[in-house]
C-alpha cells in the first residue's frame, strides 16, 4: 500500500500540478494528495517507510509548503491534529533532503499555532517526533530546545496576516 502511495505522490510532485502550491487558497484539492501520502506513511511498516529515500528532492518542497498551509488551517479550525500533520510533513522533508535547514524555517509556524491554540508546543512537537525517522524527529526536538527568541515567526521571516479564507501566515521575504 505504501509503495503505491509513494509512487502516486512521486508522480504528482514530479508533474507541474504543484507549481505555485504554497500561496494557493486554503484548503485546496492538492492538500488532499499530501494528506493521503501522510496517511499511507503513518500506516506503513518500518521497512516500507525506508522507501522515503526514493522520493525526489522536490517532494521535500511540497511537504514544506503543505506544513505551512496546515499550520494556517490548524489555527482557522482550531485543530491539534493538523499541527501534528504539519510537523510530520516537515520531518519527512528532512528525511528526503540532505539539508534540513529549510524545514527549520517552517517550524515557527506550527510552534506559533500551538501557542495560539493554547497547546504546549513542545508536547505537540514530541507527539509528531514519535512517528518520524531519526533525522526528522531530531529536527523537531532541536527546534523545541531553541531559545524562545529563535522560535518566533519574525526570526524566520513570517508574520500573521489574512486572506479570503481568514487567518494566514505570510512570508516577509
Cell of 103: 524545514
Angle at 18 between CA 16 and CA 23, to 5 degrees: 130
Residue 39 pLDDT more than 80? yes
Task: Please compute the mean of the pLDDT values over residues 64-93 and round it to a whole number.
Answer: 98
Task: Please compute the mean of the pLDDT values over residues 59-73 and round it to a whole number.
Answer: 97
Radius of gyration of the chain (CA): 15
Task: Please compute the mean of the pLDDT values over residues 49-53 and round it to a whole number.
Answer: 91
What is the model's pTM? 0.96
Residue 93 pLDDT more than 80? yes
Can you name the residues that pair with 171 across neighbouring β-strands? 158
Give every CB contact of residue 131 below 8 A, 6+ residues apart in sequence: 42, 88
Give me the residue spans of the domains in the chain.
2-171
Which of 22, 38, 137 has the alpha carbon at shortest distance from 81?
38
The CA distance from 105 to 123, in Å, is 19
Distance of CA 36 to CAs 2, 32, 158, Å? 10, 6, 28
What pLDDT is recorded for position 100? 73
CB atoms within 10 A of CB 147: 8
What pLDDT is recorded for position 98? 63
Cell of 54: 526514493
Q: pLDDT tens digits for 1-28?
A: 899 999 999 999 999 999 999 999 999 9
What pLDDT is recorded for position 102? 87
Residue 155's SS3 state is helix
Which of 96, 88, 102, 68 has the alpha carbon at shortest distance from 140?
88
Q: pLDDT tens digits for 121-163?
A: 999 999 999 999 999 999 999 999 999 999 999 999 999 999 9
The CA distance from 113 to 108, in Å, is 8
Q: How confident is the model at residue 101 (pLDDT cuts 50, 70, 90)?
A: confident
Amino acid at each position: 500500500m505504501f509503495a503505491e502511495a509513494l509512487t502516486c505522490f512521486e508522480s504528482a510532485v514530479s508533474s507541474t500540478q504543484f507549481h505555485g502550491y504554497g500561496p494557493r487558497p486554503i484548503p485546496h484539492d492538492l492538500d488532499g494528495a499530501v494528506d493521503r501520502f501522510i496517511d499511507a506513511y503513518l500506516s506503513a511498516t518500518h521497512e516500507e517507510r525506508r522507501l522515503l529515500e526514493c522520493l525526489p528532492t522536490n517532494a521535500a518542497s511540497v511537504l514544506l509548503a503543505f506544513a505551512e498551509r496546515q499550520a494556517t488551517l490548524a489555527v482557522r479550525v482550531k485543530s491539534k491534529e493538523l499541527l501534528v500533520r504539519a510537523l510530520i510533513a516537515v520531518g519527512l522533508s528532512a528525511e528526503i533532503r540532505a539539508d534540513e535547514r529549510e524545514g527549520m524555517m517552517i517550524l515557527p509556524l506550527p510552534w506559533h499555532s500551538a501557542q495560539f491554540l493554547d497547546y504546549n508546543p513542545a508536547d505537540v512537537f514530541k507527539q509528531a517526533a514519535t512517528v518520524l525517522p531519526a533525522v526528522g524527529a531530531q529536527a523537531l526536538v532541536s527546534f523545541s530546545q531553541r531559545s524562545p527568541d529563535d522560535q518566533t515567526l519574525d526570526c524566520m521571516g513570517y508574520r500573521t496576516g489574512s486572506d479570503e479564507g481568514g487567518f494566514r501566515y505570510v512570508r516577509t521575504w
